[in-house]
Amino acid sequence: MNLQYRSLQDMSSLIISQLYKIPPDVDLIVGIPRSGLLAANILALHLNLPLTDLDSFLSGRILGIGSTRRHRKQVDRIQECRKIAIVDDSVWTGKSMEIAKQKVKNANISQPLIYAAIYAGPDSKDNVDLYFEVCPFPRLFEWNMMHHTYLSNACLSLEGVLCQEPTLELEKNDRDDNYINYLTTAKPLLLPTIPVGYIVTSRLEKYRNYTEDWLKEYGVTYKQLIMQDLSSIDARLTFNLPGTFKAKVYQQIGAALFIENHLDRAIKIANKASKPVLCLENRQLILPSQTSRRRAKIQKAIGALEQKLRAALKRTFKLTAGKKFS
């Protein structure tokens, strides 16, 4: 099944388009930490309702609203609420929602409650009172992608994803001490909290030790670090167009996703490898074009046909050899 990816923009647009699902007598939005607070914030802002997190709610506290214009029905205390919506970003197994429900039950909340999720799985939508979209598995959300087990079978670019990118001038002068200093002191960007499959970088192989030390310093664990085995930066800049090396690696290994920073490079990788690429520049999943998908299917069919022909030739050879010596 194809990966279902949702960005923050996707979630925001979905919520805004279906605000009507929140009953008009809801006076308070409660977010289940952490991801549920994202959804709860969007709902509270657009409905102009007070907001709080689950633990604060159970302690009887509502978060402040700053200088936002109040409407006349806006409540100041939980006891004044006609109805309360408790929100999470998604429900899959239903475990987090059940824990939240049990906490609320133990707190003896007297007001009517509704439990909501922005995204529900096909088999988990009955765990909530309302949901905004059914999103089947496998799925990946922008706001938790670096903590998702899907990364165990993914390729991640190093520069622009895990760490800041060098300037072109710095990269061209890789023999300079400033480049070595960059390799050892590059600022981190998005750091995964679980082991990832493959880290793919255009850095030269001779800088492996510096790169491994940096990854170790920031606690990044991985199955394989793939670097370019070329003699110099000049050779890489001359003979390797952006994305070509990464596309080749992605095409040859069994990874299901590539995470890349640059849009033009992401499009090239997706089309050359005929597999999806998550682009951080526009926070979208780039799918291969129909042409590249068709080419990949043809190549796969040719490969299967070649295997069948080899097997048939083997059987023919054995049969011929058997007749010869019988």
With 0-12 / 13-18 / 19 or more C-beta atoms within 10 angstroms meaning exposed / middle / buried, residue 41 is middle
Q: What distance in Å separates the CA atoms of residue 228 and residue 224, rounded to the nearest whole number?
A: 13
Least confidently predicted of 69-73, 191-195, 263-267: 69-73
Q: Is the pLDDT of residue 236 over 70?
A: no
Among candidates 6, 276, 256, which has minimal Cα distance to 139?
6
Give one word for 79, left, alpha or beta, with left for phi > 0 and alpha for psi -120 to 50.
alpha
Fold of 4-143: Rossmann fold (3.40.50)
Fold of 148-286: Rossmann fold (3.40.50)
Q: Where are the domains positioned within the chain?
A: 4-143, 148-286
Mean pLDDT of 212-223: 98
8 A C-beta contact, residue 83 and residue 23: yes
pLDDT digits (tens, 9 = 90+) for 243-282: 889 999 999 999 999 999 999 999 999 999 999 999 999 9
8 A C-beta contact, residue 30 and residue 57: yes
pLDDT digits (tens, 9 = 90+) for 106-153: 999 999 999 999 999 999 999 999 999 999 999 999 999 999 999 999
pLDDT band (50, 70, 90) for residue 69: low
For residue 218, give the amino acid letter: Y
pLDDT band (50, 70, 90) for residue 291: very low
pLDDT digits (tens, 9 = 90+) for 162-181: 999 998 788 777 777 889 99
- Report in angstroms the alpha-carbon separations of 49 from 61, 77, 269: 14, 12, 44
Q: Do domains 4-143 and 148-286 have the same CATH topology?
A: yes
pLDDT of residue 65: 65
For residue 165, give the amino acid letter: E
The phi, psi pair for 222, rounded to 5°, reads -155, 160
Q: Whose structure tokens read 């520049």?
A: 281
pLDDT of residue 97: 93
Among candidates 176, 188, 171, 190, which has minimal Cα distance to 228?
171
Q: What distance in Å separates the CA atoms of residue 118 and residue 132, rounded to the nearest whole number?
A: 5
Q: How many CB atoms lie within 10 A of CB 260?
A: 28
Q: What distance in Å separates the CA atoms of residue 315 and residue 326, rounded to the nearest whole number?
A: 16
Q: What distance in Å separates the CA atoms of residue 252 and residue 44, rounded to the nearest whole number?
A: 47
150's tokens: 């899907």
Mean pLDDT of 49-69: 84
Over pLDDT 90: what percentage of the chain? 68
8 A C-beta contact, residue 57 and residue 32: no
pLDDT digits (tens, 9 = 90+) for 307-323: 767 776 666 666 665 65
